[in-house]
Structure 1
Amino acid sequence: MTARTARISFDRQVWLEVVYLLTSFPAAVIGFVYAIAMVSVGAGMLVTVVGAPLLALGLAGARLLGRAERARARALLGIRIEEPSALPGPSQGGVLPWLWERLKDPVAWRAVLYEVVRLPWGVLTFSVTLVALLVLWPVLPLLVRGLSNVDRILVRGLLSPSDDLERRIAQLESDRGLVVDTAAADLRRIERDLHDGAQARLVALAMDLGLAKEKLTEDPQAAARMVDEAHGEVKIALQELRDLARGIHPAVLTDRGLDAALSAIATRCTVPVTVDVDLPQRPAPAIEGIAYFTVSELLQNISKHAHAHTATIDVWQVENRLMLQVADDGRGGARLDGAGGTGRSGGAGTEGTGSGGGGTGMAGLAERIGAVDGVLLVDSPVGGPTVVTAELPWRPATEGAHPVR
């Protein structure tokens, strides 16, 4: 071993690892005794009223031990390890749900397992490190590094937060908020449409019929004209209600499925649209509705902004995903970042109000699809063409459902 290698081997990190290994034994004894006593007493008293709260309190203490061990590992082993998410506080659900969350806390139970496993390992590492300091000095750096690497694995495996699970929980919480906000926005839109449209028209209609009733005996011809005008207003109000109902959930989608529903909205687009739906059976109603309104909004954006001559709609299934693609030969320039206004260039994905979108454009559409574990992709170079592809989770409507007609 050269002098340079020796200097590198006995660096500051090696001595920090030595401190970690030597202090792990007393820390392991404390943690082991606490874990065994806490589990034994808490589990043994579960038959009593105080058993569950006592066990929950013990698990909270195990969480604190885990936090202390993570801090020690960060300081002495130099590993980057995040803190797990805190448990939710008391809610309107009452004491029992709050207590149950703490009794099934995976972070606390992994900390208990860590304290139990680490005692025999702590005894071994303490003994080997102490012997190496006394009689195995030349190989001390190698032994210390090997032992501390095992400790790194234990800490990461048992004391680290479940990164994927934590991110998934955070994403689900965000998606839940988005779904609630979207539902609230849709309810406000329906209320506004009813108030400004059909409701106002029906109020005016009731007033006109009241005037016609008053004129019925005095001027039958004028009353007849007013009744005739009211008849026309009834037809308009009915059409407005039909349009509103179609915006909530079209009857053709419920009765005949995506193929017929998409063909119906394709006829309302300002450019010719080719529809191709190739599904073995109907998807679940919720997924079917999301697919329908996604295409509906994209077609509205094509009509408003794309300056296209033709468009296509393709829907198919790939394993456990429902795929839909809307393309147009317009001027392109659509983006997912939501930048710009409704007047900027873009095709199927250009920003626009859409069906109940409230001006959210492509960014809002992507958020809605993401809320159900879907993905929205936009390929729209300036000059076109624009291709918008959406992936949705596939769930069949029912077992043994008939193929889509």
Structure 2
Amino acid sequence: MTTMTLPETLDAPPPQAATPLQRWSVGRWAAPIGRFLAYSLIALLLGAIGFSLVLALLIAGVSTVIVWVGLPILIGGVLLARGFAAAERALQSSILDTELPTPAPRAAPAGAGWMRRLITPLTDPQNWLDSLWVLVNFLLVLITFPLAMAWTVGAIATVGGPVATLILEQVLPPADNSGLGELFGVPEPYALPVDMALQFLIGLLFLLTLGPVVRGLAALHRGVARGMLSSRYHEQQQLLRTEQSRAAGRTAESTALRRLERDLHDGPQQRLVRASMDLARVEALAAKDPAKAQAVLRETREQLGLTLDDLRRLSRGIAPPVLVDRGLAAALTELAAISPIPTTIESPELTLPEHVEIGIYYVVSEALTNAAKHSGAAGIVVEVARIGDDAWVRIEDDGRGGAEMRTGGGLAGLVGRVASLEGRLTVTSPPAHGTRIEAVIPCAS
């Protein structure tokens, strides 16, 4: 027998929406301040150690490098700076929730000797940035930590100041207890209340500005760390994406050329060879059997017409004249007109770079060809738009779906073609629910 237990909260009243006062809780307000104080204290301790060690090693290494003794000392200094930079990345990640990716270290060339491998750390710009960061961050935290502590103590004075004044008023003799009220010449009966009110107002000023000040100090540390510890990582990633885009472009171009060669060989070339042979037959039959020669000429004319159609079809994948003369919308409309599946084009007049227009045209042309061959769809929708600095195109049909990315297939070629333009292409094709192809291509030249 199975017993099902109802949750205890079944009869509980529905949760009430949090009021603004509840959303503004002391814990949520104080947490960033506590985290920054903890971070800056640890950073101050690590910075003092790192500043002393790294600076000492760098100075000793530079001053003795001329006699080669300083070379390993200098290498040890930059590697130690790399270690303190790694500690900073971990510290900001765990306390300030800041991701500081690590740039890849420079590697020695393949087959390099031991001396080249030894001095490779000295040729890595990031190691010198790490060393500079150790010095800059220590000087920075010498300013930000006392500033944050002073603002925090000032904010605590909102409550602590008046309480301390009341306690001192009871403990100290009146002659030894003078406050802001007496300093401003307030008469004795009102000196104590004025003193407490001024302390409260000064503390309130610190309290109200504590959050923005701490956030600004934390943003300063994040900005310095990003600029010195992770800027080269983003440069490396951009370079990697560029290299991948170029490689994808070369692959896509090679694939397109092989495909064009195959199509020319299997289509127009074969038809032209047959037409040449038929014309030779016509020459032989012209005198003997004119009627037969006329029939062969008709067949030859048909073959040449089919050859012309093939050449026009192949030229659409390269640079169709209508795209150059009348723009992307007109070129896509022509593609829709010759598509065997009813196709709707939603493309406003857009100002796009030429290479982006050719890329979109190629994507749509290939997608329509694939849909005609494999989808069994009753309709296709093509939508083109510009979103910010990106051009976006969607081709969606209502066919059988189930499209797969196969090596050497049409979809794989599309991915390579879009990647060569530093864009991205996604294919969504659940079985029995149609296929949607989306491509995003940057418009930056």
Please report the TM-score for the alignment, with normalisation by the length of structure 2. 0.54
Q: For 2:52 and 2:247, how far apart are their aligned partners in 1?
A: 47
Give, in angstroms, the shift of residue 311 of structure 1: 2.3
Aligned partners of 1:66 and 1:159 also within 8 Å: no
The residue type equivalent to 1:295 in the other structure is V
Give, in angstroms, the shift of residue 262 of structure 1: 1.2
Q: Does residue 351 in structure 1 map to residue 378 in structure 2? A: no
Q: Does residue 393 in structure 1 map to residue 442 in structure 2? A: yes
Residue number in structure 1 paired with 2:57: 30
The correspondence of residues 146-185 of structure 1 with structure 2, limited to 5 A, is 158-159=228-229, 162-185=232-255
Structure-2 change in CA distance of 1:164 and 1:232 (3 Å): same
Structure-2 change in CA distance of 1:62 and 1:186 (3 Å): farther
Q: For 2:347 and 2:131, how far apart are their aligned partners in 1?
A: 54
Aligned partners of 2:425 and 2:437 also within 8 Å: yes
Give, in angstroms, the shift of residue 364 of structure 1: 5.0
Q: Does residue 314 in structure 1 map to residue 383 in structure 2? A: yes
The correspondence of residues 275-286 of structure 1 with structure 2, limited to 5 A, is 275-279=345-349, 281-286=350-355
Residue number in structure 2 paired with 1:403: none
Larger mean Cα displacement after TM superposition, 244-253 or 229-238: 229-238
Q: Does residue 208 in structure 1 map to residue 227 in structure 2? A: no
Give, in angstroms, the shift of residue 226 of structure 1: 3.7
* SS of the residue 2:283 aligns to: helix
* SS of the residue 2:338 aligns to: coil
Q: For 2:80 and 2:346, how far apart are their aligned partners in 1?
A: 60
The correspondence of residues 6-405 of structure 1 with structure 2, limited to 5 A, is 22=49, 25-32=52-59, 66-71=78-83, 82=102, 84-86=104-106, 106-107=125-126, 110-111=129-130, 113-114=132-133, 117=136, 158-159=228-229, 162-217=232-287, 220-279=290-349, 281-331=350-400, 345-346=401-402, 350-351=403-404, 358-361=408-411, 365-378=414-427, 383-384=432-433, 386-394=435-443
Aligned partners of 2:384 and 2:392 also within 8 Å: yes
Pairwise CA RMSD: 4.7
Give, in angstroms, the shift of residue 161 of structure 1: 6.4
The residue type equivalent to 1:176 in the other structure is R
Q: For 1:196 and 1:88, how far apart are their aligned partners in 2?
A: 50
Give, in angstroms, the shift of residue 180 of structure 1: 0.7
Q: For 2:88 and 2:123, how far apart are their aligned partners in 1?
A: 31
From the CA coordinates, give the structure whose radius of gyration is larger.
2
Structure-2 change in CA distance of 1:24 and 1:106 (3 Å): closer
Deviations 1:50-101 (A, max 9, x none): xxxxxxxx99x988853443246659997797452437969xxxxxxxxxxx
Structure-2 change in CA distance of 1:153 and 1:352 (3 Å): closer
Q: For 1:260 and 1:193, how far apart are their aligned partners in 2?
A: 26
Aligned partners of 2:81 and 2:134 also within 8 Å: no
Give, in angstroms, the shift of residue 299 of structure 1: 2.2
Give, in angstroms, the shift of residue 173 of structure 1: 1.7
More helix by percentage: 2
Give, in angstroms, the shift of residue 181 of structure 1: 0.5
How many pairs align? 305
Q: For 2:224 and 2:64, how far apart are their aligned partners in 1?
A: 22
| Identity across the alignment (%) | 30
Give, in angstroms, the shift of residue 291 of structure 1: 0.9
Deviations 1:317-364 (A, max 9, x none): 233222222233334xxxxxxxxxxxxx33xxx2388xxx94152x65
Q: For 2:316 and 2:226, how far apart are their aligned partners in 1?
A: 53
Q: For 2:347 and 2:88, how far apart are their aligned partners in 1?
A: 60
Structure-2 change in CA distance of 1:385 and 1:184 (3 Å): closer
Structure 2 unaligned residues grouped into runs of 5+:
1-40, 94-100, 111-120, 143-219
